[in-house]
């Protein structure tokens, strides 16, 4: 019976953009996307959002409540935008862990921060959000910016984040979401499926990765669904803030 159950688990499918793939293959496919775009990731973020992603991240930091001496985990930290600011806030008595499942992104982030002279209170850890390799009740703040939609089992990741937070600790999920205006939604679709892949091809010679980006955003849970998922995982006082008309939403939850 156990062998039969394991066989069934191995055959389960999940979405990779609009494709259906075996769950065991999704992490590798996502890794290939980010390996392809890592070197031009920051440039593409600035072009795709006209620089607005910096404002979204600044609001995330403000609502995190980070303080001097805090211990902070930045999951899917990529090229280190949030980590750099958190490092400045927590100071020499605090610690920031930049974690990413993708070695290419982690390397780019580490090199970028070292080049800027930011390293004293930062650790770099290659880690899977679903199975975080940290002790229980360890962090004051956990953030994941534009990473949750790429996780295969989002519920497992949310429970893992809850586990490593201290009681009273805060999780902030910054992610693309669902526009609240029908006209904006239509314009956003045209941009996502026509302009974005073309831009990706011109800048990174990779249209497919940015086509996946657009598809993965559409497959991600909407604002209310993600709020319910966070509550189900055990977070309390879960709220969200729509930004840029709901194109991006910032969810916040507290560990009881």
Which segments are annotated as binding site? 79, 100, 128-129
Cβ(136)–Cβ(163) below 8 Å: yes
Q: How many CB atoms lie within 10 A of CB 244?
A: 17
Tally Cβ neighbours within 10 Å of residue 128: 17
Beta bridge partners, 119, equal none
How many of the other CB atoms lie within 10 Å of CB of 26? 19
Q: Around Cβ 12, how many Cβ atoms within 10 Å?
A: 10
Strand runs labelled E in 127-226: 139-145, 165-176
**Distance between CA atoms of residues 224 and 232, nearest Å:** 12
**Strand order through the sheet with 122-126:** 122-126, 95-100, 71-75, 139-145, 165-176, 248-254, 236-243
User: Which segments are annotated as binding site for S-adenosyl-L-methionine?
Assistant: 79, 100, 128-129
3-state secondary structure of 35: helix
d(CA 155, CA 178): 20
Give the tokens for residue 170.
């805060």
């Amino acid at each position: 019976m156990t062998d039969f159950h394991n066989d069934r688990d191995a055959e389960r499918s999940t979405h990779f953009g609009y494709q259906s793939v075996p769950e065991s293959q999704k992490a590798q496919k996502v890794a290939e996307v980010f390996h392809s775009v890592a070197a031009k990731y920051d440039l593409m973020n600035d072009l795709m959002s006209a620089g607005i992603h910096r404002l979204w991240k600044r609001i995330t930091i403000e609502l995190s409540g980070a303080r001097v001496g805090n211990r902070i985990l930045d999951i899917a930290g990529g090229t280190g935008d949030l980590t750099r600011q958190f490092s400045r806030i927590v100071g020499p008595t605090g610690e920031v862990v930049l974690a990413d499942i993708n070695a290419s992104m982690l390397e780019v982030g580490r090199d970028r921060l070292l080049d800027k002279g930011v390293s004293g209170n930062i650790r770099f850890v290659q880690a899977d959000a679903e199975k975080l390799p940290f002790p229980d009740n360890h962090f004051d703040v956990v953030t994941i910016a534009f990473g949750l939609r790429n996780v295969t089992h989002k519920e497992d990741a949310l429970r893992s984040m809850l586990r490593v937070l201290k009681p009273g600790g805060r999780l902030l999920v910054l992610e693309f979401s669902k526009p609240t205006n029908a006209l904006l939604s239509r314009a956003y679709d045209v941009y996502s499926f026509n302009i974005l892949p073309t831009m990706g091809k011109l800048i990174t010679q990779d249209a497919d990765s940015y086509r996946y980006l657009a598809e993965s955003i559409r497959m991600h849970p909407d604002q209310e669904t993600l709020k319910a998922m966070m509550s189900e995982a055990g977070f309390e006082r879960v709220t969200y803030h729509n930004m840029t008309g709901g194109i991006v939403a910032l969810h916040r939850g507290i560990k009881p």
